[in-house]
Amino acid sequence: LLEEQSHNNEMFLNKKVFDFNLDGHDEVILSNKFLGVYITPYNGGTVFELDYKPKPFNLIATLARREESYHKTIKEKAKENKSKESEIKEDEFRGSKTEEKEEGITTIHHTEALKGEDLKKFLNYDKCPNYSFRNYILPNDTNIDSFQRREAQQFGNFSNGAYSFQLIENGVKLNREERIFIRGNESFINIKKRYEIEKEEGILKVNYLIENKGPSNLFFTFAVEQFFSMLSGYDENAVRYYIPNVELEDKCMASYGEIKDISEVIIENYLEGFNIILKFTPEANVWRFPIETVSQSEAGTERTYQSSAVVPNWKLKLKPNQTFSAQISLKISNFK
């Protein structure tokens, strides 16, 4: 509000560089009348807060999953009772009249009470904060399961290493170059990424340029992870995915799956009255999965929806000095 008043309620574009979170490293803040984009060059050149001002709503208000002391007990009990707990009856679950059946599991709007082996598979831990536009160089055999479990191998440290940066007219450009080893062969990869917003729109554009600066051909998957904390994970009438020309069996934000060769993903948030349109150039394979935490309460052990990950990825072959460019466009607007 103060920012708008300082510009007499007219369209504006601000760029600031300072140590916003007092971690000893500068952050970059891009803002206009619609968006506030908070970027940490030091931590993978990622976006750690994305504010949609007309509501207001922070799209990336999510947690990093950490191991808790009672998780060990869950794993031990699951191992001991695996055969017994493989057949869980519906009446063993804690729920309410708002429960829905989803692939044989009873789900609750915000939490889901499970036992033993079913719960164990949700004990995944994040190696770094769940910030958006974190990019990865991965082996081509990486799949959605190993990636979402945080078990996938990486080439280099592009995901959370420090990037150099420089302000530009409508945003900021970042750069990182690394020596990597793929199949035992030494090579060098350079990644340039550029964040831009315009004065008049709630659109964030993120452009990538990846260059093989080594002496041999490189084969890898380039993936970019984004998070959307939409408050409701299990009710598709509240918030849901929509993908043009694709019939999704499960549209809720806690759904899991891979869709190949698409250029657009839409998130329709009926709770808050806005939608998010993600566009990918070129077309991408897209993974989607929920971020869920496992916790204990007086009622028992349960998993809780925190946010949703959307991960466009491209399988690449780059010859020496060859480049690959991609753009992710994120547009947020109110329902009309």
- Which of 81, 103, 120 lies at the terminal end of a domain, its last residue? 120
**95 and 222 assigned to the same domain:** no
Opening angle at CA 156, ends 153 and 162, nearest 5: 125
| H/E segment holding residue 5 | helix 2-6
Let me know if residue 104 belongs to a domain: yes
**Which tokens hold the place of 155?**
């080439």
How much is the pLDDT for 104? 41
Specify if 139 maps to a domain.
Answer: yes
Residue 179 lies in a domain: yes
User: Residue 188's beta-bridge partner residues?
Assistant: 179
Least Cα distance to 189 among 322, 37, 7 occurs for 322
Last residue of a domain, one of 57, 92, 120: 120
pLDDT at residue 63 in the model: 75
Domain with 23 in it: what CATH number? Answer: 2.70.98.10
DSSP codes, 35-63: EEEEEETTTTTEEEEEEETTTTEETT---
Based on the domain organization, do 107 and 166 belong to the same domain? no
In the three-class reduction of DSSP (H, G, I as helix; E, B as strand; rest coil), residue 122 is classed as coil
Amino acid (1-letter code) at residue 266: I
Residues 87 and 186 in one domain: no
Structure tokens at 160: 């959370």
Alpha helix (H) residue ranges in 35-191: 69-80, 82-85, 116-120, 144-148
Total tally of structural domains belonging to the chain:
2
On whether residue 3 sits in a domain, the answer given is no
Query: What is the reported pLDDT for 89?
Result: 38
Series of mean pLDDT values for 10-residue runs along the chain (336 residues)? 62 94 94 97 97 95 69 59 47 34 40 54 76 96 92 93 97 97 89 95 97 94 96 92 95 96 97 96 97 75 87 97 98 89
Question: Does one domain contain both 154 and 94?
Answer: no
Is residue 5 included in any domain, yes or no? Answer: no
Report how far apart, in Å, the C-alpha atoms of 93 and of each of 90, 99, 111, 145, 201 are.
6, 10, 11, 26, 46
**Structural domain includes residue 155:** yes
How far apart, in whole angstroms, are the C-alpha atoms of residue 307 and residue 231?
7
Same domain, 109 and 139: no
pLDDT of residue 19: 94
Nearest to 307 by CA among 234, 233, 252, 225: 233
Examine the domain organization and report whether 234 and 101 are in the same domain. Answer: no
Among 80, 100, 120, which residue terminates a domain? 120
Phi then psi dihedrals of residue 86, to 5 deg: -70, -15
Residue 329 structure tokens: 């466009």
Do 185 and 279 belong together in one domain?
yes
pLDDT value for 88 = 39
Q: What single letter denotes the amino acid at residue 62?
A: T
- As given in the structure block, the two tokens for residue 298 are 């007086």
pTM of structure: 0.84
Query: Distance from CA of residue 217 to its chain's centroid?
Result: 29
Tell me whether residue 287 is in a domain: yes
Specify if 206 maps to a domain: yes
Three-class DSSP category at 91: helix
How far apart are alpha carbons 173 and 167 in whole angstroms?
6
Query: Which residue range forms the structural domain that includes residue 93?
Result: 69-120
